[in-house]
Amino acid sequence: MTTMESLIGLVNRIQMACTVLGDYGGADNSTFSSLWEALPSVAVVGGQSSGKSSVLESIVGRDFLPRGSGIVTRRPLVLQLHKLESGAQEYAEFLHLPRRKFTDFALVRQEIQDETDRVTGKTKQISPIPIHLSIYSPYVVNLTLIDLPGLTKVAVEGQPESIVQEIESMVRSYVEKPNCIILAISPANQDIATSDAIKLAREVDPTGERTFGVLTKLDLMDKGTNALDVLEGRSYRLQHPWVGIVNRSQADINRNVDMIVARRKEREYFATSSDYRHLSNKMGSEYLAKLLSQHLESVIRARIPSITSLINKTIEELESEMDHLGRPIALDAGAQLYTILELCRAFERIFKEHLDGGRPGGDRIYNVFDNQLPAALRKLPFDRHLSLQNVRKVVSEADGYQPHLIAPEQGYRRLIEGALGYFRGPAEASVDAVNFVLKELVRKSIAETQELKRFPTFQAELAAAANEALERFREESKKTTLRLVDMESSYLTVDFFRRLPQEVEKSGTPAAASNIDRYAEGHFRRIASNVSSYIGLVADTLRNTIPKAVVYCQVRQAKQSLLNHFYTQIGKKEGKQLLQMLDEDPALMERRQQCAKRLELYKAARDEIDSVSWVR
Ligand code: GDP
Ligand code: MG
């Protein structure tokens, strides 16, 4: 294979990659489409039954296209020819059937028909959605060819009136692209002045630099006439020479005349024709194929710099997309375990940053201590608990009606214990509030850990493990804070009660208590006030100790050992389970695969282009 052949082959493969990309719609497609635009392709244009599909077939040297009268080609067919080393097995592949190799070309034709019908229905409708077909063969030149529906002047039965216009704009959308080389097909048995192909080609390529005039059906011209005026460029001048063709007639097709035979017959036709003998080495399908491939070569050569830079840009884009998607997961358990631990560490780093103030959210814990807890403590219903009525009731029930008893110990104990019971609420609420904040931070941190994005399963497991740990810390914290509250009631020592009467004597007015009820009222008031000041002290203490307990049991633990339990569990897992944990989003896996494949291709392309550029 010459370097140029391989270069055109390479261009073909790049176009192929671009085509797949069209489906894939991943990263920014602008580079890809401009790359596609930079690479040449060849489209056949002409009226219905002018011989477009036949010309394509003889260039390829294979029967594989549906042909016949009427509108046979109803969707664009993007045909990529890939030259194989001689002796290699010939086969075809459709983009829509990626894993199926066709070696029987009759089946290829059938599939084109079926695939056309799949989109258009079995009507005479057309569709602009192309069918992509690749042919790998030692007998082809590297080329991308596009077969298009024939231009027509009238809608036939079953077709909407708009079809004439629709076909024209579809064809135009292909041939107006500056990278499109136009094979303008006109049948020799019609006046060239009426050729739809030439008319359209002239519109989109006025200078004719990318138009090749092809004259088919030379064998069907009336006896005594010839096409020399056209073929020698006198009727209609094009920059490139006209090529005359003799394809198989419908009768040949019906008789299954072999392509090789047809080519030989075509050669013989020109060699023996008295009209065209002098042009015979510049006529025929084989010559057309060579001409096209030479032209492509020069076009590609001119475009190498821009193609190279586009390829480099594409590689860059793909590399960055790969980074974004994450590299593929290793296959051995050790590496998987390593990946998992790395993921955990990445998450922990972010989680800690939240707690340490490097990221927002951790401050909400302090809001619990600075505002929520004090407010809850202030709201406790001690007024009601220490109302004269309640104090009288509690004390009377505990100690009996003993107005002489200056310090009714049981009454005090019950009042204090009752009051302390109220502290349990705010204590538990602080624990729960901090737990809530921590859970939120876990959720946020998981979402912020880029590395985790591709592993939805692992994200869920990590979240579950972290929340489970937080739940354990919460239980522990609750036990500890409630114990703090309970401890305050155990501190009612003998000394505490011994001190009480003195305080009463200091502030009390027993001398004025002539009236027993008024004395009792003052007595209970004093009790209430004593209890109240004790409760006040307790509230002050708890306002300080509850946060300490909560931070110790929950925040500090979360920072130090949130995933400890999880790590032990992971350590026990087998390779298969690890792989399951690293289960990726299938869409993402697909994307990475596509991306990797393309990257490989573009890199190969870059290397090949480099080598070709050196050779010249
Ligand atoms: P398309 O509609 O432009 O794709 O044309 P086809 O390739 O399907 O050909 C239409 C018909 O014209 C078929 O029956 C072909 O056998 C016949 N045909 C095409 N080219 C030639 C030719 O050079 N000579 C003869 N005798 N028949 C041809
Ligand atoms: Mg056709």
Per the CB < 8 A criterion, the answer to whether 129 and 174 are in contact is no
pLDDT of residue 606: 83
d(CA 440, CA 466): 11
pLDDT of residue 527: 87
Cα radius of gyration (the chain): 44
Residues with C-beta less than 6 Å from any ligand 1 atom: 46, 48-54, 67-68, 72-73, 150, 216-217, 219-220, 245-250, 253
Looking at residue 156, the DSSP 8-state letter turns out to be: -
Atom 28, ligand 1: residue with shortest CA distance: 249
pLDDT of residue 597: 82
For ligand 2, the distance from its centroid to the CA atom of residue 68, given in whole angstroms, is 7
Q: Identify which ligand lies nearest to the alpha carbon of 285.
A: 1
pLDDT of residue 4: 63
Per the CB < 8 A criterion, the answer to whether 147 and 71 are in contact is no
For ligand 2, the distance from its centroid to the CA atom of residue 460, given in whole angstroms, is 55
DSSP secondary structure letters along 333-349: HHHHHHHHHHHHHHHHH
Atom 2, ligand 1: residue with shortest CA distance: 49
Atom 9, ligand 1: residue with shortest CA distance: 51
The residue ranges of the chain whose pLDDT is under 70 are 1-38, 70, 400-407, 491-494, 497-519, 612-616
Q: Identify which ligand lies nearest to the alpha carbon of 126.
A: 2
> Which of 44, 49, 73, 190 gets mutated to test ligand 1 (max ligand atoms within 8 A of its CB)?
49
For ligand 2, the distance from its centroid to the CA atom of residue 514, given in whole angstroms, is 125
pLDDT of residue 446: 96
Per the CB < 8 A criterion, the answer to whether 152 and 47 are in contact is yes
Residues 63, 68, 71, 72: what is their CA dihedral angle, to the nearest 10 degrees? -30
**Listed residue (326, 339, 354) closest to 466, CA to CA:** 354
pLDDT of residue 413: 86
d(CA 457, CA 342): 16
pLDDT tens, residue by residue, 504-528: 444 445 554 445 566 678 888 888 9
Sheet arrangement for strand 243-244: 97-102, 91-94, 131-137, 77-83, 143-147, 41-46, 180-187, 211-216, 243-244
pLDDT of residue 522: 84
pLDDT tens, residue by residue, 559-616: 999 999 999 999 898 888 888 888 887 888 888 888 888 888 888 878 877 776 554 4
Instruction: List Cα–Cα distances, 383 to 216, 252, 285, 459, 528, in angstroms.
Output: 108, 111, 107, 50, 9
- Give strand ranges (E) for 188-259: 211-216, 243-244
pLDDT of residue 555: 96
pLDDT of residue 205: 95
**Residue 562: half-sphere exposure toward Cβ, Cα within 13 Å:** 27
**Chain position carrying tokens 């009759």:** 106
pLDDT of residue 504: 47
Per the CB < 8 A criterion, the answer to whether 362 and 355 are in contact is yes
Atom 10, ligand 1: residue with shortest CA distance: 49
Per the CB < 8 A criterion, the answer to whether 318 and 29 are in contact is no
Which amino acid would we find at residue 515? N
Instruction: List Cα–Cα distances, 309 to 35, 179, 305, 314, 382, in angstroms.
Output: 10, 17, 6, 8, 80
